[in-house]
Amino acid sequence: MRVLTKFDPWRSPLCTCPEKYSLHPYTGCSHFCLYCYATSYIGVRPSRPKRDFLTKLIKDLNKADRSLVISMSNSSDPYPPDEKLHKLTRRTLEILINRGFKVQIITKGALALRDVDLFERGRICISVSFSTINDELSKKLEPKASSLRERLLLVERLTKRGIPVSARVDPVIPKLNEGLEELVSILVNKGVNHITFSTYKARPDNFQRMISAFPEFRDKWYGMYRRDGVKMHGYWYLSLNERVKLLKPLIKIAKREGVTYATCREGLTSKEFFNAPTCDGTHLIE
């Protein structure tokens, strides 16, 4: 069974990512974010190292296209707390870097700082995810992920070492985490070179978790998603007008701060919302 696969197996027409590989050393995710979309097909379970992962990886790499970026990881964080014990992501990076592959790391785990020696040797960019400027809200939304302070420190320390860093401001959730403009400015001041924005897309299981955690928004969210929203490719989206209303102020700050920016799977591909060589920040590699 292959562990290195082409990204976007569902071939969503809303995906604007460049052609790339997807690689997950772990299955499941110990961060337990309430809004996680991956739980709809893998369930809610802690990170677990994939069996015989490194052996399978080496076999796959022998046939891989070296011009494509390898993205770690899109649905299971490569730096869960469990990585401190298993060091599977570190061993994976050693193999990828020694073979000259381009790598993007997407994480909420401050443990990534441990591997800065590898980042400095590799063709790598790091994408750190944020959903709020409020640490208390972050702990509720992302109970086992690194704290907001720890992630901001990760960004700052990586950029000071010359590692290209982008950020995902994701998900932007109506009524809950609005007011993210300050976060965008802070990220740029910490050295972020690119920001990807994405609104919350509801699936039955994550929607149930969200309304259980925030019952005060239940009726409002039902109206915005189920009554007035639109069903697209397995997700309930906010209406286009609502998405634009949420994203425009954030885009405005990114533009003012002079970094590249894009939206993720929103259908907003005009230069106003997508002003970057890539949506995911992989253009920062080299």
Question: Does residue 24 register a pLDDT over 90?
Answer: yes
| Tokens describing residue 145 | 């992920």
What's the CATH number where 214 sits? 3.80.30.30
CA torsion angle for 15, 16, 18, 23 (degrees, to 10)? -30
Question: Does residue 286 register a pLDDT over 80?
Answer: no
pLDDT over 70, % of the chain: 99
Question: Does residue 9 register a pLDDT over 80?
Answer: no
**Interatomic CA distance for residues 108 and 128, integer angstroms:** 6
Start-to-end CA distance of the chain, whole Å, equals 32
Q: What residues make up the domain containing 245?
A: 4-284
Q: What is the mean pLDDT of residues 126-136?
A: 96
| pLDDT grade for 55, boundaries at 50, 70 and 90 | very high
- What was the pLDDT predicted at 75? 86
| Tokens describing residue 18 | 């460049």
**Interatomic CA distance for residues 124 and 163, integer angstroms:** 8
Domain count along the chain? 1
**Interatomic CA distance for residues 253 and 189, integer angstroms:** 12
The residue with tokens 């063709």 is: 123
- What was the pLDDT predicted at 48? 96
Residue 263 · residue 198 · CB < 8 Å: yes
Among 8-22, 31-45, 102-116, 207-221, the minimum mean pLDDT is found in: 8-22
Q: What is the mean pLDDT of residues 23-28?
A: 97
Question: Does residue 85 register a pLDDT over 80?
Answer: yes
**Interatomic CA distance for residues 263 and 151, integer angstroms:** 21
- What was the pLDDT predicted at 241? 97
- What was the pLDDT predicted at 273? 97
| Tokens describing residue 274 | 């997508």
Q: Of 174, 168, 176, give the one whose Cα is nearest residue 242.
A: 174
CB atoms within 10 A of CB 79: 29
pTM score, whole prediction: 0.96
- What was the pLDDT predicted at 40? 87
- Using a 10 angstrom Cβ sphere, with 0-12 exposed, 13-18 middle and 19 or more buried, the burial of residue 181 is middle
